[in-house]
Structure 1
Amino acid sequence: MMKNRKLLYSVLISCFIIVAGFSIYFYYQTQKLTNQVSEATTVDEELPSYHFTLIGEEMDHDYWRLVGEGAKKTEQNYDVWVEYVGPRRSNPEEQLKLFDIAIKSKVDGIIVQALNDDFLPMIDKAMEKGIPVITIDTDAPDSMRSTYIGTDNYVAGQLAGRALVEDTGGEATVGIVTGSFSNSHHQLRVEGFKDIVEKEAGIEIVAIEESNITRVIAEEKAYQMLTEYPDITALYGTSSLDGIGMTAAADSLGMDDVYMMTFDTLPENIKLLEQEKLDVLIEQKPFEMGHRSIELMLEIMKGNQVEDVYHTDAKVVKKEDLDEPGIEEGNRYD
């Protein structure tokens, strides 16, 4: 009888321990779930007032990384969430898909690089749905876009042309490696350059090729030019990667005396300028473009009038200018 009672007590105690254990477990699980719901509610309550999407050309490119950093920095000072998206490599079709997604997501505003005329109907579609659009780096003036911010690419091309005329004394045989034949900002950089140098009787442009904004193709095209036209004394590149390819081609051919100029004060280009393999860089302001684009969009959200175009500065940078503050820091500003 005593053994049966002890066994019964043991079973009851074991059951009590098991029930207590389950109770404690479910209590903590309930508390955890409650905390998660509470945190989610808090996040919802603290969501920024505005959601903007910035669609860049190429996420892996240093230039567009700076544009994105400039835009994202505004989150520190304004009630805004900046969603920065884009293809890994330059791909207008993918940009257009991201543009369509942003419209369907009903974001508050879209900042986009309008690489070609295919972007015009998408810009107008967003505007008609009440979503303001700012073009950045590359404009679409024939669209309904709210405003444009970026380099005056024609003027930038003129700056390059004047630098060439000055540095060569108006005597040069020139090859051009352009990032793209179809992208309007590269077209304008070539047009501005030509309009300056073609006024000089001693300067002749003998070839122009497309790099597709890649250093490998830029090197191939520059090598082809320098081989076919060994009398070339100057090369002009319209994208930041063209200079890297051009200098590599000249090195492989042992042509150390070819005058070289390209766009953007990115780290690799700065190094080539220091090594005197590049003679001139055309500096742009990508960080400022990104930052100001969000500030302009916020002005539009407030119902304030904005100008049709905002041009960021471009200037000629030579080796002796590298000591100036800000150049090697990617044109950041505080």
Structure 2
Amino acid sequence: MKSILNLLPLFVFLGLAGCGRQSEGGSATSEAKSYTIAVIPKGTTHEFWKSIHAGAVKAEQELNGKGIKTEIIWKGPLKEDDRDQQIQVVENFMSRRVSGLVLAPLDSQALVAPVENAIKAKVPVVIIDSDLKSDQYVSFVATDNYKGGQLAGERLGQLLGGKGNVILLRYAVGSASTEARESGFLDTLKTKFPSVKLISSDQYAGPTRETGYQASQNLLNRFGDQVNGIFCPCEPPTIAMAKALRDIGKAGGKVKMVGFDSGSQSVADLKNGDVQGLVVQNPILMGYLGVLTMVKNLQGGKVENRIDTGVVLATPENMEQPEIKELLYPPIAKYLKE
């Protein structure tokens, strides 16, 4: 993990600079060209997106430091269920003819037309975090979300000793990243832990901690006396469900819980024993490689169709290991001014 974090950016950048020079026949013309990259997240409030932003800024700083003039514009909807606003942001940047878009689509279908329209207008698009039902974009830079769901299923199944009643609190319809995690989780329980019983898997947390808390309360009101384990596939429901468990006296491992993402509250819950596992992504690397991949493409370099940014399981037992700790406490403040 440490080698990936420290060396991959260097390798990618060297490849980017080399491809840029080669595409211009060895001249310095490409380095003199300036790029304006719009980075569009699903939302702008959760800590995960702040880490994505930090990674984009890191790439911007390094590119400018190497003489490749690059400006990052960060703009997205406030809430992660505002499809119309995200579509409007994409369309506005297309009209402005920015050099390229780095987009985390909050709906895998609703953003297809805006993205393909941008591409037709010669504004290339790199997709990050969550996939899009299109084959027109430059590259997909993201976690292997299905694998992340598998890690969660394995952890919860082991915590339960292979038996018990489980709740899956889903996130949102159309969110490709969380849907893949949910599928990985369910498939793992089915194949590896057939004695685990799924007592609820059709409820959705929604885009905020508040909606997630309400959904969590509703589930616990119904299944609180039966449930032995819970999985939540992203930051807002993870934080919300842990709070709901505390409120009814079922936290601290009485009900085993596995969540996703390294929000500061989730990390605190992992440390204090209310959460027994967090599947953790590398959003700084995701934002960083999203921007570098776009610039490499703009310079005429060849880019991979799919770039996997990694996923690991953090537990109370391994959370102090350096490679895990770096993901649980991302250096957001180093790149973003509050």
TM-score normalised by length of structure 2: 0.81
Which residue pairs with 2:240 in the alignment?
245
Aligned pairs, number: 288
Which residue pairs with 1:161 in the alignment?
153
**Deviation above 4 Å: which 4+ runs of structure 1?**
331-334
Which residue pairs with 2:199 in the alignment?
206
User: How many Å separate the matches in 1 of 2:210 and 2:110?
Assistant: 27
Please say if 1:118 is aligned against 2:113: no
How many angstroms does 1:331 deviate by?
A: 6.6
Which residue pairs with 1:81 in the alignment?
71
Deviations 1:214-242 (A, max 9, x none): 22222222222222122100111011111
Which residue pairs with 1:68 in the alignment?
53
User: How many Å separate the matches in 2 of 1:309 and 1:253?
Assistant: 43
Which residue pairs with 2:125 in the alignment?
133
Q: Is the 8 A contact 1:289 1:312 kept in 2?
A: yes
User: How many Å separate the matches in 2 of 1:291 and 1:194?
Assistant: 31
User: How many Å separate the matches in 1 of 2:210 and 2:60?
Assistant: 37
Q: Is the 8 A contact 2:230 2:256 kept in 1?
A: yes
- Residue 260 of structure 1: SS of its match in structure 2? strand
Which residue pairs with 1:330 in the alignment?
330
User: How many Å separate the matches in 2 of 1:309 and 1:246?
Assistant: 33
Q: Which amino acid aligns with 1:240?
A: E
5+ unaligned residues in a row in structure 1: which ranges? 1-46
RCO higher in 1 or 2 (8 Å CA, sep ≥ 6)?
2
Q: Which amino acid aligns with 2:212?
A: A
Output the aligned Cα RMSD. Answer: 1.8
User: How many Å separate the matches in 1 of 2:123 and 2:96?
Assistant: 11
With over 3 angstroms needed to count, the CA separation of the structure-2 counterparts of 1:101 and 1:135, relative to structure 1, is same
Which residue pairs with 2:96 in the alignment?
105
Query: What is the aligned-residue identity percentage?
Result: 22
Please say if 1:56 is aligned against 2:41: yes
User: How many Å separate the matches in 2 of 1:181 and 1:331?
Assistant: 31
Counterpart mapping for 1:188-207 below 5 A? 188-199=180-191, 200-207=193-200
User: How many Å separate the matches in 2 of 1:142 and 1:75?
Assistant: 27
- Residue 313 of structure 2: SS of its match in structure 1? strand
TM-score normalised by length of structure 1: 0.82
Please say if 1:226 is aligned against 2:220: yes
User: How many Å separate the matches in 1 of 2:275 and 2:86?
Assistant: 32
Q: Which amino acid aligns with 1:128?
A: K
Pair member with larger Rg? 1
User: How many Å separate the matches in 2 of 1:124 and 1:241?
Assistant: 30
